[in-house]
Structure 1
Amino acid sequence: MDDLFELDAVGQAAAVRTGEVSPRELTEAAIARIEAYDGEINAVVHRRFERALAEIDALPRDAPFHGVPTLLKDLGWSMAGEPYRAGSRVLDGVEVARDGYGVAKLRGAGFVVLGRTNTPEFGTTITTEPKAFGPTRNPYDTAYSPGGSSGGSAAAVAAGLVAVATGSDGGGSIRIPASMCGLVGLKPSRGRISYGPSLGEAWAGFSAPGMLCRTVRDSAATLDVIAGAMPGDPYGAPAWPRTLAEEVGADPGRLRIGFLAEHPRGTVLADPDLAAAVIGAAGLLESLGHDVEPGGPETFADEDFALHFGTVVATHVAADLEEIGRWRGKPVDLDELETRNRILGATGRELGAVDYVASRDWIDGFRRRMAAWWESHDLLLTPSLGVAPFPLGWLPADDVSMARGRTNQAVAFSSPINATGQPAISLPLHRTAEGLPVGVQLVAAAGREDLLIRIASQIEAAGPFRHTAIRR
């Protein structure tokens, strides 16, 4: 049965359809794997095994992922009747009243939801070490972080507890753990997946829900089932000509690709593993017939970006704290929070509406300046993460200045793409001398996930990704 967990979700769904395994047998096997291996990794913070087993018979039998187990990130992805913690004890006792649209679509596609995965408090950092639930460990080396904020989901998929799990990405929170855990992580275009019915957007549109996967075809097929604007959404992404699953293996044509092996902002330190990953990927893309040259948008170097991005995030954290107070019937005292969020909350409360609107307007201009580069290029290639794989504890809780500096460097390649709302994918194309994964990021113009799937599947076909952390 463990051999089934080396399959991706598309493969597991095929095994169910052919009768090789029943949905109940596959679900029970996934539960057994979580019980056997998660004590080492600490990816799953809420288990709903009995409920999941009881729901199997009601799943639509003709659904594309009928009987395939999955896990939900415990941030967003609300599910009726289940607790919601967002990595924090301030939400103890909160239970969700209804499914979010994304969860409803997953269940409608036949997925069996086994529980919720670990995330840093409110998802505001790049490592998954919340005080409330303890650190999640990287399956490649348990002394290392799996990244964040979708680190629990990434660790679970990398270890083979499930084939796919949900995430969200507000500054790199899908792409960074995908890089750290050797996975495929696609951040969709702004508006591609609905945050409803409880929200119209998250972090002023910076954040996008998505999936952590081991294969490109899973990334395509799962996005097909959860994508689509819903009634009342503030905006949506343009429709694709056909499904993403149909783009897997399709000829991408000869593409114009720029690459950055080092960040154009001089304050971001270079790392040899990141440069090697990008240069290796650039060589591979050139060998596949694409026009590849060094360079990227000059706008990437803008020193003011971090200030305005931070203003938007801090303001939304402060607003979220007010909402949490209403949920639980008691205002949130900043002393209840981890140091990072205590500072973000206090900063957000001090900022005025004029500051917030000014930063959103600045980001609008930044987005237009960035978009101009894609008028003459198809893709940008960069590292997914701005630093080398790092151990647990690398972001010190008691040294806020050091933690902020390290975080700003780590998200230097990812957070600008959250601000622009473009789709970006992290692919596991490099390993350090110690065997730790390092991902590279490909960024397309807004709405062009189809192009990312074509090029990613071409790369995967040229050299299938290795997933050596799967527990056996």
Structure 2
Amino acid sequence: MTNSSPDPAGVATAHAFDDELGRLDALATAERVRSREVSPAEVVRAAIERAKAVNPSLDAVACEDYDRAIERAEQLAPHGTFAGVPTFIKDMTDVAGLPTRNGSDAFAGAPPAKATMAVAQQLFDMGTVGLGKSTLPEFGFTASTEFPDGTATHNPWNLGRTPGGSSGGAGALVAAGVVPIAHGQDGGGSVRIPAACNGLVGLKPSRGRLVPDPHDRLLPVKIVSDGVLTRTVRDQVAYYREAELRHRSRKLPALDAHGDPRTPIDRPLRIGALIDSPTAAEVDGPTRATFDRTIALLEGLGHHVEPVPPPVGAEFAEAFIHYWSMLAWFVSRFGKQLYDPSCEPDRFTMLSKGLAARFASKAGSTPRAIATLRASARADAAQYHPIDVILSPTIAHLPPELGHLGTTLPFDVLFPRVERWVAYTPLANATGAPAISLPLGHDAATNLPVGMMLSAPLGADGLLLRLALQMEAAQPFPTLAAPTSSV
């Protein structure tokens, strides 16, 4: 069932696409269940076998829930958009009966959660069956899923490289064919970055598009959004259509405000091409080549593309880092009260401690940082007149080797590396606007995917999905089963 061997370029990979069910996307899997071609239990058992075969190479499963998954699948009615589809929940979100360890040794003794958080329950209510929890770096504070003991989650396209983060486990499991859809969270790019690293589709939705997180009320700027990682755009469309039936924000236009989100865009758009990031990060060759090829793809589809400058600069980047540091300080100070009394702050990583110390040394600049983040929403909105969508790289360079972003590195070494790599994604978190990463390139030398990001005004999630459908049809996305689009 499992392929764990060098690809033609000699790069070690790991995937489960030898199993026919593993090659199906979520909608195709559910269709087989609804037609009674396979039962939910058969689908779930097959996914568990794929996980058991591949995870020793990936280390992407934080907590297994296989026995309960089979029990639930055996009782599941074959109905629903994602009937019988196996999935994983990121280990920052409570699932009843499972511990929530937040990717941290500080929560090694966490007890099983008593209830399932709303966003996870919503995914289960669509018919999915949870197989357990996926890995993340501590509290999602960095963009590579690596751990203080030297272990890490591996990129299935190239086992020596990072799968990104912080939803790195989710990205690895979907890319390897273990499951077709997995839950993630995005507070600075944490859905879009793993999507880019693992050749997946990842949408950070508009703020308020999904059911709110209970911690949101504590934050002056709500930068975190839940989402899912998938191999196809249509699975994203189906997820957000179903989510809207269960939770509809009156502050946002409907998902179909720009037409039926199940259909490709049918009109030319004005697209801004943004290669300069707020931090002036250097873009590597494969990323620049994919950016240029994506411009040509969009123009070939009839869209008008023109260069645009970044709407924010270094002041925004500094404000976002300060706010990120504030979150780390908050967790280090109130982790026991916010999460669980078992929290042991002394066991936090050097990165978390470094971020908290950074905030403590500059706490007086917090009001200005918050004001800067709020102002970024106005600056971002202004660039969409008359632009419809912004194209940019998702990350500045290919996923680095494991260890380059290791959490045991000194803070003043690690954090500048993270900042340079993920220079493009944080803006959408500050503004609340939607942004989607698409796998539009493949670097043959490293066997790594290359992701491009499309961003749109607040509430225009449906527009992004329709454009993504058009681009996917014109240039099918590479997968580990069939890597294409080499640069």
Give the one of 47, 51, 56 matched to 1:34. 51
Between 207-216 and 250-259, the greater mean CA deviation after superposition: 250-259
State the Cα deviation string for residues 428-455 of structure 1 (Å, max 9, x = none): 0111132210100000111111000110
Q: Distance in 2 between matches of 1:249 and 1:356?
A: 44
Asked whether 1:102 is paired with 2:102, we answer no
> d(CA) in 2 for partners of 1:343 and 1:260?
32
Amino acid at match of 2:396: G
Q: Return the TM-score normalized by structure 2.
A: 0.89
The answer as to 2:207 corresponding to 1:190 is yes
How far is 1:6 from its partner? 0.5
Instruction: Tell me which of 290, 293, 297 is aligned to 1:277.
Output: 290
For residue 21 of structure 1, what is the amino acid of its counterpart? Answer: V
Q: What is the alpha-carbon distance in structure 2 between the residues aligned to residue 467 and residue 135 of structure 1?
A: 22
Question: Could you give the per-residue CA deviations for residues 249-306 of structure 1, whole angstroms, max 9, x where no partner exists?
Answer: 233411000112343654x223221111111001000000001112244x23x11112
Counterpart in the other structure of 1:2:
19
For 2:184, what is the secondary structure of its paired residue? strand
Q: Deviations along 1:43-66, whole A, 9 cap, x unmatched?
A: 111000111111224445432111
Residues 470, 253 of structure 1: CA spacing in aligned structure 2 closer, same or farther, 3 A cutoff?
closer
Q: Deviations over 1:404-440 (max 9, x none)?
A: 2111111211111211111011110111132210100
What amino acid is aligned across from residue 284 of structure 2 in structure 1? D
**TM-score relative to the length of structure 1:** 0.92
Query: Which whole-Å deviations, capped at 9, do the CAs of 1:103-149 have from their partners, x for residues lacking one?
Result: 11111111000011110011011100123693010111100110110
Given that residues 119 and 151 in structure 1 are in contact (C-alpha distance below 8 angstroms), is that contact kept between their aligned partners in structure 2?
yes
Structure 1 residues 433 and 331: alpha-carbon distance in aligned structure 2, compared to 1, 3 A threshold? closer
Instruction: Please say if residues 127 and 146 of structure 1, whose CA atoms lie closer than 8 Å, have aligned partners that are also in contact.
Output: yes
How many angstroms does 1:388 deviate by? 2.3
Question: Which residue pairs with 1:84 in the alignment?
Answer: 100
* Residues 3-27 of structure 1: per-residue CA shift (max 9 Å, x gap): 1110100000001011111000000
Structure 1 pair 72–172 and aligned structure 2 pair: CA distance change class (3 A): same
Q: 1:294 aligns with which of 263, 287, 307?
A: 307
- Contact (CA 8 Å) 2:394, 2:425: kept in 1 or not? yes
2:458 matches 1:441: no
Q: Which residue of 1 aligns with 2:217?
A: 200
Contact 2:278 2:423 in 1 (8 A): no
Q: Deviations over 1:305-360 (max 9, x none)?
A: 12211121111222223442124336744x311110011123334554x5323211
Contact 2:255 2:461 in 1 (8 A): no
Residues 62-77 of structure 1 aligned to structure 2 (within 5 Å):
62-75=79-92, 77=93
User: Given the superposition, is the C-alpha separation of residues 241 and 218 from structure 1 closer, same or farther in structure 2, using an over 3 Å criterion?
Assistant: closer
CA contact (8 A) 2:204 2:227 kept: yes
Task: Assess if the C-alpha contact under 8 Å between 1:129 and 1:136 holds in 2.
Answer: yes
Describe how 1:256-335 pairs up with structure 2 within 5 A.
256-263=270-277, 265-266=279-280, 268-297=281-310, 299-300=311-312, 302-326=313-337, 327-329=339-341, 332-333=344-345, 335=346
* Structure 1 residue 248: Cα displacement: 2.5
Query: Aligned equivalents of 2:237 and 2:247: distance in 1?
Result: 20
Q: What is the deviation of 1:229? A: 8.3
Please, which of 8, 15, 28 is the counterpart of residue 11 of structure 1? Answer: 28
Measured at CA, do residues 227 and 101 of structure 1 come closer, stay the same or move farther in structure 2, by a change above 3 Å?
farther
Paired residues, number: 462
1:458 equivalent in alignment to 2:462:
no
Q: Do the aligned partners of residues 385 and 54 (structure 1) sit closer, same or farther apart at CA in structure 2, a change above 3 Å counting?
A: same
CA distance in 2, matches of 1:452, 1:11: 22
Which of the numbers 193, 198, 219 marks the counterpart of 2:236?
219
Counterpart of 1:240? Answer: 254
Verify the 8 A CA contact 1:274 1:388 in the aligned structure 2: yes
Match of 2:391 in 1: 381
Tell me, yes or no, if structure 1 residue 20 matches structure 2 residue 37. Answer: yes
Aligned to 2:437: 426
| Inter-partner Cα distance in structure 2 for 1:280 and 1:182 | 16
Structure 2, gaps ≥5 residues long: 1-17
List aligned pairs for 1:398-437, cutoff 5 A. Answer: 398-434=409-445, 435-437=447-449
1:96 deviation in Å? 1.6
Question: CA contact under 8 A between 1:256 and 1:378: conserved in structure 2?
Answer: yes
For residue 246 of structure 1, report the CA deviation from its aligned partner. 4.0
Is 1:341 the counterpart of 2:352 in the alignment?
Answer: yes
- Give the aligned CA root-mean-square deviation in angstroms: 2.4
Aligned amino acid, residue 248 of structure 1: R
Contact 2:94-2:117 at 8 Å conserved across structures: yes
Cα distance in 2 between the residues matched to 1:219 and 1:22: 23
Deviation at 1:199, TM superposition (A): 4.2
